[in-house]
Amino acid sequence: MPRIVKAGLIQASTTHSGSEEPTVIRDAMIEKHVAMIEKAAAQGVQVLCLQELFYGPYFCAEQEIRWYEITEQIPDGPTTQLMCELAAKHQMVLIIPIYEVEVEGIYYNTAAVIDADGTYLGKYRKNHIPHCHPGFWEKFYFRPGNLGYPVFRTKVGTIGVYICYDRHFPEGARALALNGAEIVFNPSATVAGLSEYLWKLEQPAHCVANGYFIGAINRVGTEAPWGIGEFYGQSYFCNPKGQLIAEGSRDQDELIVADLDLDEIREVRDTWQFFRDRRPDSYGDLVKP
C-alpha cells in the first residue's frame, strides 16, 4: 500500500500592531490559528505545522523585555495543552512553534510535536540563533537549542523540525536525515530583500541531499511598528527530488496542502546512494571550533 500523507502548512499575517500588549496579540493569534486548524481538519489534513512564533508578531524586530510575558512552558503551558486537545479532536499531528521558558531567564525558540491522539511527543529547540540587520535580534530573546536534532515517530511518519535560520546550515539538515526523518518542517519568519533569493534554493537542496520531504513556512505581511520588510509567504512543500509540489501565495493568509508519497523517499535513495557514499571519517575538520 502506498504511504500517502496529507500534510498542511499555515501562513498568516498578524492580527495587531506590535505596539499592542503582547498577551492581547497572543490571544488573538491563537484564536485565528484555531480557526485555520479547523479548516485544515475539514480538508482531511493529517499533519499540520504552524509558522515560527505563531502566536505573535515577529517581535525580534526590537529588543524589549515585555515580550518575555508570552513565554510558556512546554508541555505544561496552556498553548501546548490546547493544541494537544485539538490534535486529539481532529486526529491530526501538530507541530506548534512556541516561545518557551525553561526557567525564568532561560528562553528558547521551540516547536512542540504532538501526535494524532493528542500525545505530546517532545520538542525541538532552534539551534542556530541569528542576530543581524535589518531587525532579527534573536540573541536578545533566545538561548541556542540544546536538544540536538531529534525526530518524532508519529502516526503519519517520522517527523523532524528545523526552525527558520537553521535552514542555512546543511549539517543539521543531514543530521535529521541520519536520525530517520521522512518529513522535515521548517517554520520561519523572513523578509524580502534579505532571504528571498535563497528561499527556493536551500531547502530543495536539502531535500535532494537527504532524500526527504520538506514543508517550509513563511508568514505574510508587513508588521508595524517596525517595518523591517515584507514577510513574503510562498510557503511550500518540496519532494525528495527537490521539486516544489505545492506553494502558497505571497501575501494571503493561507492553508497549503499537499499529498506526500513517502514511498518516494526509498525510490530516490535507491537511485542516489549519498548515504552509502558518505565519508564521515574525512569530515573531522567540519566540526572543529
Q: Are 113 and 122 in contact (CB under 8 A)?
A: yes
The span from the CA of 187 to the CA of 189, in Å, is 7
The set of residues, in sequence order, having a beta carbon less than 8 Å from that of 210 and lying 6+ positions away, is 173, 174, 176, 177, 181, 240, 274
In the prediction, which pLDDT does 65 show? 98
- Length of the chain in terms of residues written: 289
The span from the CA of 12 to the CA of 221, in Å, is 8
Q: Are 237 and 284 in contact (CB under 8 A)?
A: no
In the prediction, which pLDDT does 2 show? 79
Task: Please report which residue ranges of 43-194 form alpha helices under DSSP H.
Answer: 78-90, 170-178
Q: Are 135 and 228 in contact (CB under 8 A)?
A: yes
CA-nearest of 208, 217, 203 to 58 is 217
- Name the pTM for this structure: 0.97
Which DSSP symbol is given to 287? Answer: G
Name residue 231's beta-bridge partners.
191, 221
To which residue does cell 485539538 refer? 86
The set of residues, in sequence order, having a beta carbon less than 8 Å from that of 279 and lying 6+ positions away, is none
In the prediction, which pLDDT does 99 show? 98
Please tell me whether the peptide bond between 75 and the residue prior to it is cis, using omega within 30 degrees of 0.
Answer: yes
Helix (H, G, I), strand (E, B) or coil at 102: strand
Helix (H, G, I), strand (E, B) or coil at 75: coil
Q: Are 48 and 215 in contact (CB under 8 A)?
A: no
**263 CB neighbour count, 10 Å cutoff:** 12
Please tell me whether the peptide bond between 150 and the residue prior to it is cis, using omega within 30 degrees of 0.
Answer: no
Residues involved in catalysis: 52, 126, 164
Mean pLDDT, consecutive 10-residue stretches, the chain (289 aa), reads 93 98 98 98 98 98 98 98 98 98 97 98 98 96 98 98 98 98 98 97 98 98 97 98 98 98 97 96 93
Helix (H) or strand (E) holding 22: helix 22-42
